[in-house]
Amino acid sequence: MTRVIFLGDSFVQGVGDPEHRGWVGRVLQATGGAVTGFNLGIRRNTSEDVLRRCWPEVEARVVPDEDNRLVVSFGSNDMVEENGTVRVAADRCVANLASLLQESALRGIPVLVVGPPPVIDAGAAHLRRTVDLAAAMAGLCAARNVPFVATTEALAADPVWTSEALARDGAHPGAGGYRRLAELVLAGGWPGWISG
Amino acid sequence: MTRVIFLGDSFVQGVGDPEHRGWVGRVLQATGGAVTGFNLGIRRNTSEDVLRRCWPEVEARVVPDEDNRLVVSFGSNDMVEENGTVRVAADRCVANLASLLQESALRGIPVLVVGPPPVIDAGAAHLRRTVDLAAAMAGLCAARNVPFVATTEALAADPVWTSEALARDGAHPGAGGYRRLAELVLAGGWPGWISG
């Protein structure tokens, strides 16, 4: 019995999906088999917020000697500007990811990282920051031999994702956008990781 | 923005649903509108397990002065016999629910309770214990003016629920059974509670 815990923000949570399963539910459905998913996405969460709460929440969900896994996705909220500064600086966000990867390795829990989706109505500067952050995350993951799924640029250029986000709250897509993000994950490191 | 946190066991989690949204996702889909759901179901959790972890997890998800709500569903695992005794005695389970209702009231968080679904392959004695437990829970909820949705007997008599459970692991239904449970919740106290 494989247990996959998904840690992150509103995109992990699937906010805006009328079917209430987001990309996480769609990836699990496509995976099939005996996989139990735990969705620990929380809207507005930055990497700091995730790090603050994650280990007690993970501990309540892992079972010793079972196949426990972790999927992590954050960063879009870190890069949002509030009162003239970003909520969490990029180097801090990458350090938070490094800390999370290290702790997971100590606990023997394999990790897959999904890059930060774009926040469509947050403007070009936010997109540039998020693209740069995603590149830094990808570099860290490569160095740690952790699979990383890039999403930022593909979704920013995706007409379904962008039109759905703009028709809603400017950030969160509907079923079509989450389907597209699920496809990126399934076409990325997921299949090899989940069966490895 | 309404936030609904779902606390409970594998039935809350939706284990076995190939669409990975369970009754929780289906109830939220039918509700529509700006409702954010947080699914904190954990398989094998008893009322003791839920109580041990729930307040830090709830605190990470509520936002002051927003419309925060709690849905609680446990008891099926409490009533499972292991090594000749039930995992958690019925009076203890009801006391745990009372403690949870009291703490929610202190925090000003409205609660709805969904009764424990049957575990089809656990036998007639488990079903009797679960029916009795559900009745005690209903009495407590009535006394505290908290809506309670009965599920045990209706699902134990439901051909879709029972046939799906028996075709799988003996406890968890598929999409049809979760749809049926969602219908019970939607036909029960949910609509008045969520809009109240």
pLDDT per residue as tens digits for the range B39-49 = 999 999 999 99
CB-CB: which of A18, A28, A43 is closest to B29? A18
Instruction: Calculate the alpha carbon distances from B161 to B16, B42, B151 in Å.
Output: 12, 20, 11
Model confidence at B26: pLDDT above 90: yes
Among A158, A91, A65, smallest CA distance to A118 is for A158
| CA distance to partner chain B, nearest, from residue A132 (Å) | 29
Q: How many domains does chain A have?
A: 1
pLDDT of residue B8: 98
Write the CATH number for A8: 3.40.50.1110
- Count the helices and strands in chain A (H runs, E runs): 9, 7
Q: Does A48 touch chain B (CB under 8 A)?
A: no
* A68 close to A5: Cβ distance less than 8 angstroms: yes
Q: Does B57 touch chain A (CB under 8 A)?
A: yes
* B19 close to A21: Cβ distance less than 8 angstroms: yes
Q: Is B100 exposed, middle or buried (0-12, 13-18, 19+ CB in 10 A)?
A: buried
Model confidence at A174: pLDDT above 90: yes
| Nearest residue in A to B31, CA atom | A18
Distance between CA atoms of residues B54 and B72, nearest Å: 10
pLDDT of residue B161: 98
Instruction: Give the pLDDT band (50/70/90) at residue B196.
Output: confident
pLDDT over 70 percentage in chain A: 100
Among B31, B114, B117, B26, smallest CA distance to B71 is for B114
Contact A42 B57 (CB under 8 A): no
Model confidence at B1: pLDDT above 90: no
Which of B20, B35, B38 to probe by mutation at the A interface, max A CB count within 10 Å?
B20
Strands of A17-157, DSSP E:
35-41, 67-73, 81-82, 85-86, 111-114, 148-149
How many residue pairs from chains A and B have C-beta atoms closer than 8 A?
58
Confidence (pTM): 0.98
Instruction: Calculate the alpha carbon distances from B146 to A70, B93, B95 in Å.
Output: 36, 17, 15
The DSSP secondary-structure symbol of B106 reads H
At B134-152, the pLDDT tens digits run: 999 999 999 999 999 999 9
Q: B111-149 b/e with 16+ CB inside 10 Å = b?
A: bbbbbbbbbbebeeebbebbbebbeebbebbeebebbbb
Average pLDDT over residues B110-116: 98
The ipTM value here is: 0.96
Q: Is B160 exposed, middle or buried (0-12, 13-18, 19+ CB in 10 A)?
A: middle
Which structural domain, as residue segments, surrounds residue A155?
Answer: 2-195
Q: Does A36 touch chain B (CB under 8 A)?
A: yes
